[in-house]
Amino acid sequence: MKKIKTIVLSLVAMVVTVVPFSVSQAQDMEQFIPALVYRTGPYAAGGSGFFGGFEDYMALLNLRDGGINGVKLVWEECETAYNSDRGVECYERLKNQGEHGATVVHPLSTGITYRLIERATADKIPLISMGYGRTDATNGKVFPWVFPLITNYWSQNTAKIKYIGMQEGGMDALKGKKIANLHHESSYGKETVPVLDVQAAKYGFEVKHYPVAHPGLDQKAAWLDIARRYKPDWVILRGWGVMNPTALKEAARVGFAADKIVGVWWSGAEEDVIPAGKAAVGYVAAGFHPSGSGFPVVEAMLDIVHGAGQGNISPQRVGTIYYNRGLVAGIVTTEAIRTAQGKFGTKVLSGEEMRWGLENLSISAERIDELGAAGLMAPLTITCADHEGGGPVKFSRWDGSQWVEVTDWIETDKSIVDPMIMDSSMAYAAEKGIEPRSGMSMGSDCG
Amino acid sequence: MDLVDFLFFVEVLVGGLLSGIMYSLVALGLVLIFKASSIFNFAQGALVLFGALTFVLLTEVAGDFWMWTGWLAIVLAGAAALIMALQKLNVDGSAVKQFSDKYLPRMPIFIAAFVVIVLALFIDGGQNMWRAVFVTMLLFLMLTTAVQSPKWAIGVLLGLAVIALITDGAVTYRAFAVTLAVVIGLAMAIERIVLRPMVNQEPIILFMATIGLNYVIEGVAQGVWDADVHALDIGIPDIPFDFYGVYFSQFDLFAGLIAAALVTALAIFFQKTRVGRALRAVADDHQAALSVGIPLKNIWAVVWAAAGIVALVAGLMWGSKLGVQFSISLLAFKALPVIIIGGFTSIPGAIIGGLIVGATEKLFEVFVGIPFLGGGTENWTPYMLGMFFLMFRPQGLFGEKIIERV
Amino acid sequence: MFYREVGQYKSSYPADQAIFPLSNDRIGVMIILLIAFIWPPLSGSQYLMGPILTQLLVFGLAALGLNLLTGYAGQVSLGTGGFMAVGAFGCYNLVLRLPEIPIVIDFILAGLMAAAVGVLFGIPSLRIKGFYLAVATLASQFFLLWIFDHVGWFTNYDPAGVASAPTQTFFGALTGEGRALEFLAPIDVIVSGPNATPETKYVLTLAVVVVLALLAKNLVRGMTGRAWMAIRDFDIAAEIIGIRPLRTKLLAFAISSFYCGVAGALYVFTYVGNADTEAFDLIRSFTILFMIIIGGLGSVMGSFLGAAFIVLLPPFLNIVASNLGEGTLSGAALANLELIVYGGTIVFFLAVEPLGFARMWQIVKEKLRQWPFPY
């Protein structure tokens, strides 16, 4: 009998599996945004923090303003566990929900971004990979549907070298210096290897790449080699998750000074440095936004959203780096919706209309002030050829309890990045047989 | 080779040996369970995570958690007393006999369900209340159903109540005591609920079951506590000190000492105590041990409890090294090559295996991997080494020789 | 009542030795195949064809490969992901560098490459057994992925190490203008890359999988399969009755890796469209081992049932959780609940029926034979 019960049970399970495929009907005037979140697994801190801020901002707009011009923002979470296959599944499941399907998708994983580029292009859904993803997708002529907004990996890397140059006393002083690039061995980690090589040739410094396998626990050998044999002047940390505190601790263990380590923004959250304790004091990380809960918009979110008990994250984490990153993503996304509504009228937007909104997005300093986010993000202008907006980068130092900004916005070096993006994206276009959209050079409108 | 090179070599070697010890801490738990019950317990990594997370959260939680724990523990201790009273009454011919024969074994579950339903429906205690429910219920159910000793349940729960309500100041000790109880409770619950009903299954099925368990424990650990990253400071500074030109990590040395202490304790336990002797008998031959009257089930419970303790120690060490976070559960993968080299059934093997793995992977990476192969070799060298090792010694260094006859 | 075998007499050896000796099975399989080929493309649902069915077929094929090795020949392997990666990157390079070759031949060649690698890593199986072997095969898993990560040639020097499936037609570039097979151009379709329709990709995957599954079914009931099973059940006894362990075990590794390699190639070309090594990591190997244990060791159909279970369970739980949990539970709680239920279900099925779904299916058949009159 027991077995029969089991069989019946399993059959029921199978049948029920098929039922949810039917997609529920969406109501009027709801702009649907899927949330490909990860709240479990080795990288949970990033996923829960980012979407905490993102969802809180949308909730704020809904509660305070009744949505965007009356169009409510709705979202549904799908757990990817930072796994690319599940990301694809989530995307395919959620892309048709809402009146006109998904508005935009934030994959929040370089791996998932790569999986989705061709799919989103075919489905005409804008893919926003803010501060991650495929760098050469910045060329909107070849990748009309992909938006590595604000700053892509390569631009960020040029800012990092500029920062190092500033510390050394000018870019000329970089000649003969040595930099170690300690990177996560994944599509995310490898992305900056080519740009570093180009920069090394240009400025005359030497760079050596140290890959670290997932999840990033094995670094002792790399750090011994760095500190004892290679003896670089600077280390660029391109880690993710547990790799970051491990790197800082191993650095301390071999006696490498933390203030000579510069991290990428996925290595520069509170979650990355707190576990390293004292070893992290002095460590500097890049960011396209600072942390802190003193911004009016963050206070409003604490007040209105968390006050109403509708927060999507524990209140202690409000204002952390990941949270603010999600908030910035929320601002950019909703401002693009606003822009598109200005052109197409107040209604539920389709993916194509949303792309227009993104390609004509311009967030001025005044607008940022208006949103209560002054200092949280730099002004941003997206065009149809430049899907990045060339946002500048700020550097912050960890003082043991919080991130302290040590630089103002540092402009990225377009003269290095643009030709590389052009080469790389054109090679992609040739390989895939894509005809780039018409127009002149990058930065100009392609009509 | 000049002196600087030599010192560098020594530093890499020592660093490798010391990291290897850290792997051994995880591997020890695997060996313990494999030795006693031939189960390859993949969930050990998750147990390590669970132990570390429980400890670090217990040092961080707000006071209302302890209040809830204390009162719930008192209520459940009362329930356990009730069960004990019913058992006493349960003599032949008594009026309650029929009732208790039927319902007494299930009593704890009824009580637990009742308490949970009441709390869920009538009291809005928030997350900390549910954490307290988890902690107290685990111990209550474990001791009343699996161990079937309400007496113990009363004792442990009252102890928990005292710890929770009275000892306010000693945060670390309080957390450690409770964590120890919870981890042992969980380990024994796994053995009792999941693996004992599956006894005599194929080893591969049991292995797969522990992988399933791995997911469950990861979910429970992250669900009851959280998935954030926590710093854990056990008071050992992680700074290098200079020893004639070679840098040693104080923390790693301390970890080595802990491992040595653990192995010594286990050795004494196995060699000098009654339970240890029984354990060795069980490890040799289950059926023979049963036939001479060794209570197999109790032995397994003891072994799992020991594995739980080892997991907690490993969790604390790794947690303070890396921060307490999910990735700790992936350490099981570093422990696998350790035990194939050391042998699945040998406790000293786990230590020696760890030393070999640590030293090899670091030396190979520094002197071959980084200069010639582009680095990142550390995750396959131990397995490659293990594979070649096994070609010549299929049972590992110290494993029991596999003898097969037709 | 529904599954009667009475009255089906076999009057010749070929009839008795057919793959499906019972007409019920024969007809049933045909109906299922017919539905599988027709219904999803007609439904037009990309979600059904892509992440659900194609994924199921790809991993079902990999599971079948592992089942040949573990279920039939008794050699436990945790290197499946590595062998899939060989097939995937092998096929990618074949299509990229030799676009003339028809895609099906590419799949076969990719499978053969994986088979060669499989034989290499199968050599230790001659001395190592059981768990020791399982852990030793992890060496192949880690080592192969490391190679693909570090030798840029395999991913055509992509900066992020991602191999992205090029556009390829069914018959390859030879159908181009002025080429040898130009006359085939009208019936040629694009099967990979961004311009291939989900329908084509699904049907191609299904066709490849069906052919390989039938081959496997044939293989395991012949000489090879029997030799494998003899080795699995008692290797020393098998050696005594004249089965050569070296040859048999390595053949099992070769054929198993062939299947995994083809599955890897399908993963890149007809399922996701691109892949980096992350797609074939250790978790992948474990999941595929899960599939065959849950589905049933030593069963072709069980491989696919297990794959269905493992592939469909997470999205199913996710959908149920997000529908049930709206407003009552936080996202984190749901995600963790999902993990707990996933692991719990696996443990539950292992405890109740360690022989897997294949065995359950047999029990169902026995019941159906008599139903509704059990005695």
Distance CA A360, CA A384 (A): 7
Task: Please answer whether residues B48 and B26 qualify as being in contact, where contact means their C-beta atoms are separated by less than 8 angstroms.
Answer: yes
Q: B57-106, pLDDT tens digit by residue?
A: 888 887 788 888 888 999 999 888 888 887 777 666 666 666 667 777 77
Percent of chain C whose pLDDT exceeds 70: 97
For residue B214, CA distances in Å to A218, B92, C289, C343 come to 22, 45, 15, 7
What does the pLDDT read at residue A345?
A: 83
Give residue A5's pLDDT: 57
Taking an 8 Å cut-off on Cβ atoms, the answer to whether B323 and A242 are in contact is yes
Total count of domains within chain C = 1
Answer yes or no: is the ipTM higher than 0.95.
no
Mean pLDDT of all residues belonging to chain B: 84
Q: Say whether residue C199 is in contact with chain A using an 8 A CB cutoff.
A: no
* Of the listed ranges A59-73, A330-344, C4-18, C322-336, the one predicted with least confidence: C322-336
Q: Do the Cβ atoms of A3 and C48 come within 8 Å?
A: no
pLDDT band at residue A441 under the 50/70/90 scheme: very low
pLDDT (0 to 100) of residue A6:
54
Number of other CB atoms surrounding residue C300 within 10 Å: 26
Look at C278 and A424 and tell me if their CB atoms are within 8 Å. no
Give all chains having 3 or more CB-to-CB distances under 8 Å with chain C. A, B
- Nearest Cβ partner for A88 among C272, C319, C331: C272
Task: Write out chain B residues lying below 8 Å of A275, CB-based.
Answer: 229-232, 322-325
Residue C89 belongs to some domain of the structure: yes
Judge: A17–C276 Cβ closer than 8 Å, yes or no: no
Cross-chain CB nearest to C278 (options A48, A77, A186): A186
Distance of CA B33 to the CA centre of its chain: 10
pLDDT digits (tens, 9 = 90+) for A12-64: 554 454 444 434 444 468 888 988 888 887 888 888 889 999 999 999 999 88
Higher pLDDT, residue C268 or C21: C268
Is the pLDDT confidence value at B295 over 70? yes
Taking a C-beta distance cutoff of 8 angstroms, is the pair B241, B250 a contact?
Answer: yes
Does the pLDDT of residue A389 top 90, yes or no? Answer: no
**Number of A–C residue contacts, CB under 8 Å:** 140
The answer as to whether C190 is a domain residue is yes
C67 pLDDT band, cuts 50/70/90, is very high
Of the pLDDT bands very low, low, confident and very high (cuts 50, 70, 90), residue C179 is: confident
Give chains near B: 3+ CB pairs under 8 A: A, C
Task: Identify the pLDDT of residue B96.
Answer: 64
At residue B389, the pLDDT reads 81
Q: Are A324 and A56 contacting, i.e. CB atoms less than 8 angstroms apart?
A: no
User: What integer pLDDT is reported at residue B100 of this predicted model?
Assistant: 67
Q: How far is it, in rounded angstroms, from Cα B153 to Cα B134?
A: 15
Domain that holds residue C54: 44-282
Residues 119-158, chain C: which have Cβ within 8 Å of A? 146, 149-150
Confidence of residue B311 (pLDDT cuts 50, 70, 90): very high
Inter-chain residue contact A211 with B374, CB threshold 8 Å: yes
% of residues, chain C, pLDDT over 90: 31
* DSSP helix, strand, coil percent of chain B (3-state; round to 5): 80, 0, 20
Cα separations in angstroms, B103 against B109, B115, B117: 10, 17, 19
In a domain, C254, yes or no: yes
Residue C78 covered by a domain: yes
Q: Do B323 and A276 touch (CB under 8 A)?
A: yes
Segment A425-443 shows an average pLDDT of: 72
Residue C133 lies in a domain: yes
- CB < 8 Å to A193, chain C: 159
* A117 alpha-carbon distance from chain centroid: 15
Mean pLDDT of the residues in chain A: 84
B39, B42, B44, B46 alpha-carbon torsion, rounded to 10°: -150
Which amino acid appears at position B174 of this protein? R
The number of residues making up chain A comes to 447
DSSP C5-60: -TT----SHHHHTSSS-SHHHHHHHHHHHHHHHHHHHHH--HHIIIIIIIHHHHHH
pLDDT single digits (tens) B255-276: 888 888 988 888 888 888 888 8
Between C219 and C132, the more confident residue is C219
Band the pLDDT of B332: cuts 50, 70, 90: confident
Average pLDDT over residues C94-118: 91
pLDDT class of C329 with cuts at 50, 70, 90: low
Does residue C7 carry a pLDDT above 90?
Answer: no
The pLDDT, as a whole number, for residue C365 is 82
Q: Are C318 and A118 within 8 A, CB to CB?
A: no
Question: Chain C contact for B130, CB < 8 A?
Answer: no
pLDDT for the residue B66? 86
pLDDT digits (tens, 9 = 90+) for A390-413: 778 888 899 888 888 888 888 888
Q: State the pLDDT confidence band at A442, using cuts at 50, 70 and 90.
A: very low
Q: Six-digit token pair at A245?
A: 């505190």
pTM summary value:
0.90
Vertex B210: Cα angle to B208 and B214 (nearest 5): 115
Contacts of residue C132, defined as CB under 8 A and 6 or more positions apart, other chains included, come to B340, B344, B390, B394, B395, B396
**Residue keyed to tokens 């019941």:** C367
Residues from chain B contacting residue C76 (CB–CB below 8 Å): 204
Q: Sketch out chain A's domains with CATH numbers.
A: 30-151+291-381 (3.40.50.2300), 154-287 (3.40.50.2300)
| For chain B, percent of residues with pLDDT exceeding 90 | 12
Assign A10 a pLDDT band (cuts: 50, 70, 90). Answer: low
**What pLDDT, in 10s, does the model give residues A246-290?**
899 888 888 888 888 998 888 888 888 888 888 888 899 988 888
Which of C234, C336, C355 best probes binding to B when mutated, by most B CB atoms within 10 angstroms?
C336
Residue A257 or residue A2, greater confidence: A257
pLDDT band (50, 70, 90) for residue C207? very high
Q: Note whether B218 contacts A: Cβ–Cβ < 8 A.
A: yes
**How many other CB atoms are found less than 10 A from the CB of residue C372?**
8
Say whether pLDDT at C155 is over 90.
no
Tell me the pairing of strands A394-398 and A284-287. antiparallel
In the three-class reduction of DSSP (H, G, I as helix; E, B as strand; rest coil), residue B243 is classed as: strand
* Amino acid (1-letter code) at residue A97: Q
pLDDT surpasses 60 at A444: no
The reported pLDDT for the residue numbered C259 is 95
In three-state form (DSSP H/G/I as H, E/B as E, the rest C), the secondary structure along chain A is CHHHHHHHHHHHHHHHHHHHHCCCCCCCCEEEEEEEECCCCCCHHHHHHHHHHHHHHHHHHHHHHCCECCEEEEEEEEECCCCHHHHHHHHHHHCCCCECECCCEECCCHHHHHHHHHHHHHHCCCEECCCCCCHHHHECCCCCCEECCCCCHHHHHHHHHHHHHHHHCCHHHHCCCEEEEEEECCHHHHCCHHHHHHHHHHHCCEEEEEEECCCCCCCHHHHHHHHHHHCCCEEEEECCCCHHHHHHHHHHHCCCCHHHEEECHHHCCHHHHHHHHHHHCCCEEEECCCCCCCCHHHHHHHHHHHCCCCCCCCHHHCCCHHHHHHHHHHHHHHHHHHHHHHHHCCCCCCHHHHHHHHHCCEECHHHHHHCCCECCECCEECCCCECCCCCCEEEEEECCCCEEECCCCECCCHHHHHHHHHHHHHHHHHHHCCCCCCCCCCCCCCC
Whether residues B323 and A224 touch (CB distance < 8 A) is answered with no
B204–C282 CB contact, under 8 Å: no
Share of chain A above pLDDT 70, in %: 91
Residue C257 near residue C115, CB atoms below 8 Å: yes
Checking if the pLDDT of A1 tops 50, the result is no
pLDDT at C177 over 80: no
Residue C178: inside a domain, yes or no?
yes
Mean pLDDT computed over every residue of chain C: 86
Q: Which residues contact B4 (CB under 8 A, 6 or more apart)?
A: none
The amino acid at residue A205 is F
The predicted model gives B331-351 an average pLDDT of: 86
Cα dist from C28 to B358, C3, C23, C34, C298, whole Å: 56, 10, 8, 10, 21
Strand partners for B246: B243
C168-204 exposure pattern, b = at least 16 Cβ within 10 A, e = fewer: bbbbbebbbeeeeeeebeeebeebbbbebebebbbbb
